[in-house]
Amino acid sequence: MSQATTTVTRPESQFWRSFAANRGAVLGLAIMLVLVALAVFASVVAPHAPTEQFRTNFLTPPAWESGGTVRFLLGTDDVGRDILSRLIYGARLSLLIGAAVVGISLGIGTVLGLTAAFAGGLVDVAIVRLMDVVLVFPSLLLAIVIVAILGPGLFNAMLAVAVVMLPSFTRLTRASAMSELARDYVTATRAAGASTLHLMFDTVLPNCLAPLIVQATLGFASAILDAAALGFLGLGAQPPTPEWGTMLAGAMQFYQRAWWVLTFPGLAILVTVLAFNLFGDGLRDALDPKLRR
Amino acid sequence: MLRFLLRRVAMIVPTFVAVTFLSFLLIHLVPGDPIEARSGQRGITPERLAELRHEYGLDRPLWRQFVQYEQQVASGDLGTSLVTHQSVWREFLQLFPATVELSICAILFAVVLGLPLGVIAAVRRGTVFDYGLIGVSVIGASMPIFWWGLMAILIFSVTLGWTPVSGRIGDLYYVEPVTGFMLIDCWYSDDPGACTSAARHLVLPAIVLGTIPLAVVARMTRSAMLEVLNEDYIRTARAKGLSEPRVVIVHALRNALIPVVTVIGLMVGTLLSGAILTETIFAWPGVGHWMVESVLRRDYPSVQGGLLLIAAFVMLVNLGVDLTYSFLNPRLRH
């Protein structure tokens, strides 16, 4: 432990120092901020509207290739839409997908996990068992089947991915809540007459947040990846929505003679997923006192 | 040991019943009636519909239908595909070896490359090689493999012409399916051309499917090795004057392998998810491709049966991993 003399290191600054030492995590954060800025200001930054078709420019190559033009920096697709603009609007969509999926999954998972930990007994067994059953299915397969029931579309795809991610949040919340429940401060609050709901959400939950935040960040990455995979299989966002996976599905017929319709949407997915993974790994290392040096 | 084994096997039964319940519910959550779906575009008279519903037991209470479904599953009847009118069991068994073959080759690729890379990175901790490997493995783990597969086709098949674009074997060859594993069947057919063709078709999909496992194996090997290399017995081995390769490979790697093997075993779900995408891209005739097709064709009995069989397979593999692991590490049995 550091000696507390005149200046006391606050936990925030200690956290930031150990986070900033991780160059990958800082890079991830920087990319995330750029993506958020692009998403927020998409209508200002994007040179064209995402679904605007330029009928004189089908499959125009990127600006630096012969035949390319500065008007369409990353080229156009088979119906003459500007790829750069679609990617920028796609960032908005991907971040919304990530936020919505993680929001739904984290919300329900937290409630289920806390309920399992507090109720114990049969309720606990039932919830744990149910999550085990969900985990038996390969995640993408389960998501595909759920979409098959609900019907293809972006909203249903997000719901499916949220269901698939539910076990990780539920188990994590349950495990951390169980270890908190054994502590004295919980017993003290209970003895002071706090209601169960107050204990769950005001006393225990705030102390379980660190692992949940890390899992949410990493979940953001896999939500974007899974939603893009569903879009690619034709089960997620439907054309002409500028979703990156759906764009790749549309590129299937042309990619052998127009590499740019394939390369850029995939790179966008990769860079975004990578940014969230790097950031999540950095958060985990910075929040985990055992790893902190 | 026997008690542990029995308990672990017994635990699988309620999970399996729950899995069948979920896949049973699936058919009943689908909007519309399975009979109406089966009668197709032409439609059906209400009298005939009622008759068929009665015949298939769809007018009975849900719990009785579930009991009936359980009996069917227990007797090995998973229904008939709406599209091919073949038994779902038979369709699955025909396609499953292709998926297994692809997955095994992907895992082999990941292990053969990932283990040495992880070991080297751990031994040369903090060097450019180590940082490079960490960076590449983070990228690999974030890879959208449906895009990666298409890029690989674009580069290696279309531009360089090294490998075929899709399928399991060239059109020129016919190989009698004996085991269902193309490489083995080719071997027994004594046709070197067929063998080469099958191998060339397999390389690219296996590498694509093996990319995420490779990233995981390399990273896991590195961290397991780092942990082991700090142990006292490694210092002892070095102090005894053993050569460095012997210390690293015989003393350290053997112990570092346990977590790595577990991770590989537990990757079967990830692998099957990846197989769905890889098979779709490479037109690989396996169960992943078949499941996607069945979903798109609204062939619900196939979706239901396939889901059940894949889940059962995952459960069996997980059970196998658990048992092996507890065999290697007796402390876990309690």
CB-CB under 8 Å, B22 with A248: no
**Residue B165 DSSP code:** S
Of B20-24, B72-76, B90-94, B239-243, where does the model show the most confidence?
B90-94
CB atoms within 10 A of CB B217: 27
Taking the C-alpha atoms of residue B309 and residue B88, their distance in angstroms, rounded to an integer, is 10
Low-confidence stretches of chain A (pLDDT < 50) are 1-5, 292-293
CB-CB under 8 Å, B269 with A137: yes
Confidence of residue B38 (pLDDT cuts 50, 70, 90): low
Q: What residues of A are in contact with residue B142 (Cβ under 8 Å)?
A: 221, 225, 270, 273-274, 277
CB atoms within 10 A of CB A11: 8
> How deeply is B160 buried, as exposed, middle or buried, from its count of CB atoms within 10 A (0-12, 13-18, 19+)?
exposed
Locate the chain A residue with the closest alpha carbon to B153.
A256
Supply the ipTM of this predicted assembly: 0.88
CB-CB under 8 Å, A139 with B273: yes
Q: Looking at the partner chain, which of B143, B148, B276 has a beta carbon nearest the beta carbon of A141? A: B276
Interface test with A, best of B273, B297, B313 (most A CBs within 10 A): B273
Q: Looking at the partner chain, which of B31, B138, B292 has a beta carbon nearest the beta carbon of A233? A: B292
CA B235 to mean position of chain CA atoms: 40
Task: Express each pLDDT in A17-39 by its tens digit.
Answer: 878 888 889 999 999 999 999 99
Better pLDDT: B42 or A48:
A48
Q: Looking at the partner chain, which of B18, B142, B288 has a beta carbon nearest the beta carbon of A270? A: B142
Lookup: tokens for A82: 């500007």
Interface test with B, best of A149, A238, A247, A263 (most B CBs within 10 A): A149
Cross-strand pairs, B80:
B87
Task: Express each pLDDT in A181-196 by its tens digit.
Answer: 889 999 999 899 888 8
Q: Long-range contacts: B12-19, Cβ < 8 Å, 24+? A: B12/B315, B12/B319, B14/A129, B15/A129, B15/A132, B15/A133, B15/A136, B15/B315, B16/B312, B16/B315, B17/B70, B18/A129, B18/A130, B18/A133, B19/A133, B19/A136, B19/A137, B19/B308, B19/B311, B19/B312, B19/B315
HEC sequence for chain A: CCCCCCCCCCHHHHHHHHHHCCHHHHHHHHHHHHHHHHHHCHHHHCCCCCCCCCCCCCCCCCCCCCCCCCCCCCCECCCCCEHHHHHHHHHHHHHHHHHHHHHHHHHHHHHHHHHHHHHCHHHHHHHHHHHHHHHHCCHHHHHHHHHHHHCCCHHHHHHHHHHHHHHHHHHHHHHHHHHHHCCHHHHHHHHCCCCHHHHHHHHHHHHHHHHHHHHHHHHHHHHHHHHHHHHHCCCCCCCCCCCHHHHHHHHCCCCCCCHHHHHHHHHHHHHHHHHHHHHHHHHHHHHCCCCCC
Residue B80 has a pLDDT of 84
Locate the chain A residue with the closest alpha carbon to B288.
A141
Task: Express each pLDDT in B244-299 by its tens digit.
Answer: 888 888 888 888 888 888 888 888 888 999 999 999 999 999 999 999 998 888 78
Q: Which residues of A touch B (CB under 8 A)?
A: 24, 129-130, 132-133, 135-141, 144-145, 147-149, 151, 221, 225, 228-229, 232-235, 245, 248, 251-252, 255-256, 259, 262-263, 265-266, 269-270, 273-274, 277-278, 281
Q: What residues of B are in contact with residue A232 (Cβ under 8 Å)?
A: 146-147, 277
- B116: closest CA of chain A, how far (Å): 24
Q: Which residues of B touch A (CB under 8 A)?
A: 14-15, 18-19, 22, 26, 29-31, 135, 138-139, 141-144, 146-148, 150-151, 154, 158, 269-270, 272-274, 276-277, 280, 288, 291-292, 295-296, 298, 303, 307, 310-311, 314-315, 318
Task: Express each pLDDT in B98-135 by its tens digit.
Answer: 999 999 999 999 999 999 999 999 999 889 999 999 99
pTM of this prediction? 0.89
Residue A70 has a pLDDT of 84
**Residue among A273, A237, A265 nearest A83 (CA):** A265
Residue A65 has a pLDDT of 85
Measure CA of the first residue to CA of the last residue in chain B; give whole Å.
10
CB-CB under 8 Å, A229 with B303: no
Q: Looking at the partner chain, which of A139, A233, A256 has a beta carbon nearest the beta carbon of B269? A: A139
Q: Looking at the partner chain, which of B14, B295, B318 has a beta carbon nearest the beta carbon of A148? A: B295
Q: Looking at the partner chain, which of B14, B138, B151 has a beta carbon nearest the beta carbon of A262? A: B151
Q: Would the pLDDT of B70 be above 90?
A: no
**Angle at CA of residue A106, ends A105 and A111, nearest 5°:** 100
Q: Looking at the partner chain, which of B22, B150, B295 has a beta carbon nearest the beta carbon of A144? A: B295
Confidence of residue B220 (pLDDT cuts 50, 70, 90): very high
Locate the chain B residue with the closest alpha carbon to A252.
B150
Q: What is the mean pLDDT of chain B?
A: 86
Q: What residues of A are in contact with residue B315 (Cβ under 8 Å)?
A: 136
